[in-house]
Structure 1
Amino acid sequence: MSDTSSFDYLLELSRRCHVGINALPSARDQVVMSWSGVGFLLGEHYCVAAMDDIAEVLTEPASTRLPGVKPWVRGVANVRGRLLPLIDLT
């Protein structure tokens, strides 16, 4: 993308959708006018994910370092009995 942020892009997309909605047929009453999502910062990038794509939001769990792995691998964490890798994306 250019100099605009992800949020500005979503605002522009919403504006363009609302402008074009008047040209739709009488099924306009069936159009859902809401969207839910989660905004987050990944390094220096602002990101947005749809709520349908989010299973769970956690604080960073306690982790165990692994020997001999790349520096961007933070380790592994036990979350409700499941062993999950922790990766540093920054």
Structure 2
Amino acid sequence: MTFSSATPFDILTDYERRSLTHVAGLPDQIDAPGLWRGIAFRLGAKRLAASFAEVVEIISVPPLTPVPGADTWLLGVANLRSSLLPIVDLKQYLEGERTVQHATTRALVIRQSGGNVAVLIDELLGQRNFNEGQIVAVEGVAGSGYAPFVQRAYRLGDTVWGVFDMARLTRTPEFRQAAAAQGGM
């Protein structure tokens, strides 16, 4: 196509056609058997992913109101569209090490019985697709605090991604008690 005689619409159509030719297998992979898709994130040096079904929303860290007497990993509550949302420092809950907040810090809003809760992550890394051929052992990902929540892992290139079970996290009695009691759920 020569751009000198093309309309803007023709140029955009050509761009789309050419860009789609470089997306290897994407349309076929969306519903492919054995495909697992999730939201990828970083906690310290760990690369993790959570199921799309478990993450309600991704937000920047909102202003927090501390909760006196709460566990240190419960950072406080935030007003998110007129609803109180408990905010948990996930790294501190799992490792005992507080997350240093910076420009890439985000919160994943997840469902739990009685209402939503947000967990702080170091960095959002986008969407990742994995297939059964990429499954590896979880030993390198599931340290002591992570072991109950990471039951599966995938290798993509040189990186091992642990699948973090947010639903299991929200069923943990210690987590539920702090998040529910402080969030008014």
TM-score bracket, normalised by the shorter chain, equals 0.5 to 0.7
Where structure 1 has 5 or more consecutive residues not aligned to the other structure, the ranges are 1-31
1:1-90 superposed matches below 5 A: 32-33=31-32, 35-90=36-91
Q: Tell me the SS of whatever aligns to 1:67.
A: coil
Q: Tell me the SS of whatever aligns to 2:79.
A: strand
Task: Decide whether aligned partners of structure 1 residues 69 and 54 sit closer, same or farther in structure 2, where only a CA change above 3 A counts.
Answer: closer
Structure with greater contact order relative to length (CA < 8 Å, sep ≥ 6):
2
Cα distance in 2 for partners of 1:80, 1:63 equals 14
Q: Tell me the SS of whatever aligns to 2:53.
A: helix
CA deviation map 1:6-29 (0-9, x unaligned)? xxxxxxxxxxxxxxxxxxxxxxxx
Where structure 2 has 5 or more consecutive residues not aligned to the other structure, the ranges are 1-30, 92-185
1:74–1:86 Cα contact (<8 Å) kept: yes
1:66–1:76 Cα contact (<8 Å) kept: yes
**Percent identity over the alignment?**
37
CA deviation map 1:52-85 (0-9, x unaligned)? 3221111111101122222222111010111011
Task: Decide whether aligned partners of structure 1 residues 68 and 41 sit closer, same or farther in structure 2, where only a CA change above 3 A counts.
Answer: same
Cα distance in 1 for partners of 2:59, 2:42 equals 15
CA deviation map 1:19-54 (0-9, x unaligned)? xxxxxxxxxxxxx32553210113432211222322
Amino acid at match of 2:58: V
TM-score (norm 2): 0.29
1:40–1:46 Cα contact (<8 Å) kept: yes
Q: Say which structure is richer in strand.
A: 2
Amino acid at match of 2:66: R
